[in-house]
Each structure stands twice: as structure tokens, then as C-alpha cells.
């Protein structure tokens, strides 16, 4: 979880901090780099859902909306 040294507007947005990769190609495709980037690109309304089933349902709707709009 990303925690800034001072109070910022992004403090309560549930952002993840990706690891810094040394390799320009292979390292940037790794799960530990890509997963936080994908998570941070989700709308806050999705990231703040606490129920797994509800999250899956809303995520599926969100991805279909992105794909077909």
C-alpha cells in the first residue's frame, strides 16, 4: 500500500505502490509490476468495495463497458 510522507489528496484512494523494476522489458511485464498499475487504474468505486463477490460483479461490468463502448 502506498503511504506518502505527508497528507495528500490521494491518501484515501487505496492506491498500491508498484515495485521499481531494473529491466526495461521483462521486469516491467512481471506480476509485481503490472498488478499495482492495473489496480491503480480502476475507479475508486471499484477499489473501495469490500465484498469479493460484489467486486467481481462490478469489475466484470466495468471491463465489459470498457471493451464495448
Average pLDDT (6-11) is 58
- The predicted-structure confidence for 31-59, as pLDDT tens digits, reads as follows 888 888 899 999 999 999 999 999 999 99
Q: Is 11 helix (H, G, I), strand (E, B) or coil?
A: coil
CB–CB of 47/39 below 8 Å?
Answer: yes
User: In the chain, where are the structural domains located?
Assistant: 1-69
Please state the pTM of the whole predicted model.
Answer: 0.65
pLDDT of 65: 96
pLDDT at 2 over 60: no
The length of the chain in residues reads 69
Handedness of CA 23, 2, 36, 41 (dihedral sign): negative
Task: Name the average pLDDT for the chain.
Answer: 80
Amino acid at each position: 500500500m502506498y503511504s506518502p510522507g505527508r497528507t495528500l489528496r490521494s491518501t484515501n484512494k487505496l492506491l498500491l505502490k508498484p515495485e521499481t523494476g531494473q529491466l526495461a522489458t521483462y521486469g516491467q511485464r512481471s506480476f509485481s509490476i503490472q498488478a499495482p498499475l492495473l489496480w491503480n487504474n480502476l475507479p475508486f468505486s471499484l477499489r473501495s468495495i469490500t465484498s469479493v463477490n460484489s467486486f467481481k460483479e462490478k469489475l466484470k461490468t466495468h471491463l465489459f463497458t470498457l471493451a464495448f463502448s
